[in-house]
Structure 1
Amino acid sequence: MSAFTDALAIMIVLLVIALITDAAIIYVTRRLAAKNPNVVKLQRYEAGNPPVGEARYVFPIQYVGFLLVFLGMEPVIVILLILSSAAVVGMPIVIMILVILLIALPSVYVGYKYALKMAYPKEFLRRAGR
């Protein structure tokens, strides 16, 4: 086998592993998600007890979106590093750019949707009819 087919086989195996992992994570998060959210379920708790007094430090929730986008894009960046070696092997640049877009855009979209869901949970509940 040539170096190109070896690199392509490795890339396909890693892509399949990444897709299976992503599907498993999405499945687990949907199974563990609150099915019927209401005021009591969405109330903040500390160690299983209702909070007493004001919190000393409130985590700025606006940065969770950046975290979600980063976590969604990190595997994509790893795949892109693998693809960058394909340029040395001789993969045409147009195919490489198309593969990069095919891999990167869905991850950015999913990360953006989850970031919106974290930033505006009431709008998502209203859209779901709850």
Structure 2
Amino acid sequence: MNHAARRIGRSLALVLPVVLVLSGTLAVTRVPWATSPSDSQVLTASAEKASTQAKSRAPQDVLRDRLVAELQEENPSAALTSLQKEMSRKPSLAKHCASIARALGRAAVKKYGAAHRAHRYSRPVCDTSFAYGVAQMN
């Protein structure tokens, strides 16, 4: 009899936690007295969260856009000087310097037309990435 009780105890020890977990999980997902948000509310909340995440932009993208705007308002020299200052101020952005300088080169060609006019503003900021951006537009 001791052996049978031990066997029943082992079976219950294995089966009972599984039954409790499954029944508890099912009970939590379908509680009749809880007011659950409609599917549209859940989707709206998810969409709002996604749009908030999309609005927060990477620092290098913000810097690039600011420098391109500066290039449009002033000239490539001013934008390249600001880029150089920003790289000194925030070394963590240095890995993005070349791509930003290329974007400035492309923007200079769009503003001044011919690549040879844009090349006049070339500087040794981020190697020759500005000049490469100018050359890409040809």
TM-score by length of 2: 0.27
Identify, as 1 or 2, the structure richer in helix: 2
Structure with larger Rg: 2
Greater relative contact order (CA < 8 Å, ≥ 6 in sequence): 1
TM-score by length of 1: 0.28
